[in-house]
Amino acid sequence: MSVPNQLLRLVLGHKGHLFFGVVFMVFYALFTVAPAKYMKDIVDALGSGKVPEQSRFILVGFGIVLLFFFKGITFFGQNYLMNSMGQKIIMELREKLFRQILMLPVEFHNKQSTGDLISRFTTDLTSLAEAVKTAISGPLRDLPQILILLGIMGYRSWQLFLLTLLLLPVAGWLIQTFGQQNQLVTTKRQSKYGDLTNLLNETITGIRIVQAFGMEGYEARRFKAENHRLFRYFLHSVKIGSYSFPILELIGGICGASVLTFGGYLIIHGQITGGDFASFIVAFFMMNEPIKKFNGFTLKIQEGMASANRIYEILQTENPIRDRSGSVLLEPLQKEIRIKVERFDYGGKAVLKDIDLVLPKGSITALVGASGSGKTTLANLLPRFFDVPDGMGVITIDGVDIRSATLNSLRGQIALVTQEIVLFNDTVRNNISYGKIDCDQAALEHAAKVAYAYDFITKFENGFDQEIGEKGQLLSGGQRQRLSISRALIKDAPILILDEATSALDTESEKEVQAAIENLMKNRTSLVIAHRLSTVQHADIIHVLKEGRIIESGSHRELLEQKGEYYRLYQLQFRDDPIED
């Protein structure tokens, strides 16, 4: 469905608001144009030579007050209803967008810049809200007003009306041109806004590196350049908005002068009365207002459409990693996981080749290998962060292809500890219970104890309710790791994927983290990317990855005896590690 159709469907979802809003708009238009119509009677009465009675003036005055009163009420009604509808639509879209972002796969997020996504939420939604409101009030409030005024004008003097009709298309053409110019600028401007947001996001989250490397000046210059670029786009919009207004007004003035001159001629030659002329002129100048609004209307609509396109670009992004039709619920693991990958790549050269692994239930499988050999990539296939393309391999759990299982039933069985620890700006409690929000205090404490996190948590001033800062920055590296292990523990899933963090810890926390990891692996089927000797030693089988291939497999002792790649890695990596037992 095209973007305008999608938007129309959203609007039609609010029929009540729409209906009453339109009713108020029609009345508002009528009350607004009424003075133009009655001007004739007033002027003709005054010009008839007879002295009118005082009471008639009072009556007219009373009429005016009443008119403005009703005009006010109908303005409130239409403005409130239309704006609240606009905001409701935006609220719905915002939620849709957020849900879509939650669902879109890792691949999408790897490519999409955060700043750009955020600006689609902020600036794009705001300008769309404006456009939705204007799109409705333009044709429903301003257009009828223009039509009624034109009607009054034609009724009062067809000669003057014809003259006006000749002049109107010029204004129409100008309005159209300004609108198109603005849409172009807006599209570019919104994407620049995304760039700026991105820069901001990166600098703020990387502030420690920025400061440590003395790059404040560099970042400031980068920001200044982006900021200026954005400024120039805004300036362009401002320019269009600013010159389109006086140009239109000037055109209006020229038209007014022509009408005035021609009108004088008609009165002198007795073709129309002074009242006709006054009524016509009032209607003519009253048209200025809705026409100018119509100009603003097209500008805003074009801006809004540019934004709507950016929003729907995300909403309509295909999600290749989703439940396929006929997806089955995956039963809890009974026997084994099998990972068979002929080839996997990220769009370039192969990252994984000829992988064929079996992970029996309850076993610990370790992956080791040089940096960049494909360990994390391999582990990411199991929870379907990426799918192996059809025909390039298959991953099964008890014989069921995971691509044919529902994502929930698959991921529900997997606890994950990632290489880069992800924590949220929330309390210790909410970070641990992240996969099981409703767990009780006992379960929470148990998980914390098993992960060797209980002691440091209880030393916090607020214990489990301690806020840990953005990305857990108020914690030490080892504490962060143990929290992420607690989180995996509380999920209590049968399958564990553990991508050990490579960051070195001091011997004391290293020991605690190791002990936590051992507890975490108990009674689970584990796929562990091992950087620690103790983890490797506990493994039932170790696979050595090199450039995407498994080149050696066996137990720690067997592999050492082979004196191959593992032996070499061991010499480099593990030799200095403290060995238990």
* Interacting residues toward ligand ATP by CB under 6 A: 110, 346, 351, 369, 371-377, 419
| H or E stretch covering 456 | helix 454-459
Whole-angstrom distance, CA of residue 281 vs CA of residue 279: 6
Phi then psi dihedrals of residue 158, to 5 deg = -70, -25
Complex with ligand ATP: residue 327 or 418, whichever CB lies closer: 418
Complex with ligand ATP: residue 21 or 369, whichever CB lies closer: 369
Smallest distance from Mg ion to CB 379, Å: 8
Smallest distance from Mg ion to CB 372, Å: 8
| Among ligand ATP, Mg ion, none, partner that 373 touches (CB below 5 to 8 angstroms by kind) | ligand ATP
Complex with ligand ATP: residue 54 or 371, whichever CB lies closer: 371
- Do residues 181 and 329 lie in contact, with contact meaning Cβ atoms separated by under 8 Å? no
For the chain, the helix, strand and coil percentages under 3-state DSSP, each to the nearest 5:
65, 10, 20
Contacts 24+ apart (CB under 8 A), 508-516: 509/476, 509/477, 509/478, 509/479, 510/478, 510/578, 511/578, 512/452, 512/478, 512/482, 513/452, 513/478, 513/481, 513/482, 513/485, 514/580, 515/452, 516/450, 516/451, 516/452, 516/453, 516/481, 516/482, 516/485
| Among ligand ATP, Mg ion, none, partner that 325 touches (CB below 5 to 8 angstroms by kind) | none
Smallest distance from ligand ATP to CB 17, Å: 45
Smallest distance from Mg ion to CB 376, Å: 3
Complex with ligand ATP: residue 50 or 111, whichever CB lies closer: 111
Smallest distance from Mg ion to CB 493, Å: 21
- Do residues 500 and 338 lie in contact, with contact meaning Cβ atoms separated by under 8 Å? no
Helical segments of 345-440, H only: 375-381, 407-411, 428-432
Interaction with Mg ion in 182-241: which residues (CB under 5 A)?
A: none
Complex with ligand ATP: residue 16 or 348, whichever CB lies closer: 348
Interaction with Mg ion in 357-396: which residues (CB under 5 A)?
A: 376
Smallest distance from ligand ATP to CB 395, Å: 16
Interaction with Mg ion in 113-132: which residues (CB under 5 A)?
A: none
Smallest distance from Mg ion to CB 378, Å: 9
Smallest distance from Mg ion to CB 374, Å: 9
What is the chain's Cα-based Rg? 35
Whole-angstrom distance, CA of residue 299 vs CA of residue 349: 47
92: closest CA among 1, 191, 10?
Answer: 10
| Among Mg ion, ligand ATP, none, partner that 346 touches (CB below 5 to 8 angstroms by kind) | ligand ATP
Complex with Mg ion: residue 7 or 351, whichever CB lies closer: 351
Smallest distance from ligand ATP to CB 477, Å: 17
User: Helix (H, G, I), strand (E, B), or coil: what is residue 478?
Assistant: helix
259: closest CA among 162, 170, 148?
Answer: 162
- Contact partners, residue 102, CB within 8 Å, separation at least 6: none
Identify the burial level of 347 via C-beta atoms within 10 angstroms of its C-beta, where 0-12 means exposed, 13-18 middle and 19 or more buried: exposed
The angle subtended at Cα 159 by Cα 155 and Cα 163, nearest 5°, is 110
Smallest distance from ligand ATP to CB 474, Å: 26
Whole-angstrom distance, CA of residue 558 vs CA of residue 310: 57
CA distances from residue 184 to 70, 179, 198 in whole angstroms, order as listed? 41, 9, 22
- Do residues 508 and 500 lie in contact, with contact meaning Cβ atoms separated by under 8 Å? no
| Among Mg ion, ligand ATP, none, partner that 372 touches (CB below 5 to 8 angstroms by kind) | ligand ATP
| Among ligand ATP, Mg ion, none, partner that 218 touches (CB below 5 to 8 angstroms by kind) | none
| Among Mg ion, ligand ATP, none, partner that 198 touches (CB below 5 to 8 angstroms by kind) | none
Complex with ligand ATP: residue 25 or 351, whichever CB lies closer: 351
Adjacent-strand bridge partners of 369: 545
Residue with tokens 């420690």: 208
Q: Which residue is nearest to Mg ion (CB)?
A: 376
| Among ligand ATP, Mg ion, none, partner that 83 touches (CB below 5 to 8 angstroms by kind) | none
Complex with ligand ATP: residue 137 or 373, whichever CB lies closer: 373
Complex with ligand ATP: residue 35 or 369, whichever CB lies closer: 369
Complex with Mg ion: residue 293 or 531, whichever CB lies closer: 531
| Among ligand ATP, Mg ion, none, partner that 374 touches (CB below 5 to 8 angstroms by kind) | ligand ATP
| Among Mg ion, ligand ATP, none, partner that 371 touches (CB below 5 to 8 angstroms by kind) | ligand ATP
Query: CA torsion 7→13→16→18, rounded to 10°?
Result: 10
Adjacent-strand bridge partners of 416: 497
Task: Tell me the site size for Mg ion, rule CB under 5 A.
Answer: 2
Interaction with Mg ion in 395-424: which residues (CB under 5 A)?
A: 419
- Is residue 32 a contact residue for Mg ion (CB under 5 A)? no
Complex with Mg ion: residue 402 or 501, whichever CB lies closer: 501
Smallest distance from ligand ATP to CB 415, Å: 19
In the DSSP assignment, the letter for residue 43 is H
Phi then psi dihedrals of residue 339, to 5 deg = -115, 110
| Among Mg ion, ligand ATP, none, partner that 55 touches (CB below 5 to 8 angstroms by kind) | none
| Among ligand ATP, Mg ion, none, partner that 304 touches (CB below 5 to 8 angstroms by kind) | none
Return residues touching Mg ion (CB under 5 A): 376, 419
